[in-house]
Structure 1
Amino acid sequence: MSRLRTAVRAAASVSVLTAAVLTAPQAVAAEQPGPAAAAANVCSTGYTLRKAVPLPLGTDPRERLATLFAYENGGKGCVILDNNVGRSRYMLVQVCKVGGTSCDKNSGNFSEYAGPVYVSGFACAPVTAKMGTSSSSLSVNYKSDYVFPCG
């Protein structure tokens, strides 16, 4: 397993143990700066963790199938859907500008993660995350009107 993959898993574990939906990710980054920084490097240097969502929602965080990570760097956002199953699965992560316009996505069969997918003007950016054995057999089907804080 690559060092980056190990760091992403460590950051995910810390994130989901802190809360079902992480609302103060800076606290996690302060507790575990190495893993949080390494996971952010998937997006590129300079990105800061803003949100980590264990999926599917309502699942015990220790039994999550995926984790949606949202990072920010100035006026740009980056999302990654981390595969916590450890086997190749169909995955899709999509982020759009406000209003659902100009969407970018990454989809396919991945054993580690889908993404990174970038968006400029990230505040209130709608996001979609899917994962399953195929695109028609989903165990994760998450959509939010925003993954980054509005305002």
Structure 2
Amino acid sequence: MRTRKLAIFLTGAAMAASTTMVASAAPAAAAGPCGSSYTRVGVYPIKRGDGTRTGTLEVHYSSSAGKNCALTYGYGAYANTPSWKSVVISRGDGSGEDSNSGTFTYYAGPVYVSAPGQCIDVQGTVPDWVTVKLNNVHCG
């Protein structure tokens, strides 16, 4: 009986140790929301007319993919809680538009556009139609 209890104890200890090791392992190169080759190139606050910040519009770029990516995050009362979030990206001439909107907990997007040698337009909205829109930015 004593041997059986020891075997059960050792099996449980081994399982606990292996679970801990797996849980603490992290990937060598963690991918961001747009993908592993993307680098953040712009961060823009989304604010109401009175200056109250409601969200953040982020723009990312990948030279290997040749694409821009955008996301809209909630801020303050709209962060990490279900709320209306929207993001739109296109080439500066309005073509190639990609958008994502709805009630999201964390962010709207990612959305992508390929715009080699061109500028892009990006727009982020976090509730109450509070929007930041940037035209002809991140040219290249």
TM-score (norm. length: structure 1): 0.62
Q: Which runs of 5+ in 2 are unaligned?
A: 1-28
Higher share of residues assigned strand: 2
Aligned residue in 2 for 1:27: none
Aligned residue in 1 for 2:91: 97
Select between 49-58 and 116-125 the one with higher mean Cα deviation.
49-58
Q: Answer whether contact 2:87 2:124 (CA < 8 A) is retained.
A: yes
Structure label with greater radius of gyration? 2
State the AA in 2 paired with 1:144: L
Is 1:42 paired with 2:42?
no
Pair 1:91–1:102, CA change in 2 (3 A): same
Q: Which runs of 5+ in 1 are unaligned?
A: 1-36
* CA positional deviation for 1:77: 0.5
Identity of aligned pairs, percent?
34
Aligned residue in 2 for 1:66: 55
Aligned residue in 2 for 1:25: none
* CA positional deviation for 1:98: 2.4
TM-score (norm. length: structure 2): 0.66
CA RMSD of aligned residues (A): 2.3
Q: Deviations over 1:34-70 (max 9, x none)?
A: xxx96x610000111100011117876xx52111111
Higher share of residues assigned helix: 1
State the AA in 1 paired with 2:68: G
Q: Answer whether contact 1:82 1:113 (CA < 8 A) is retained.
A: yes
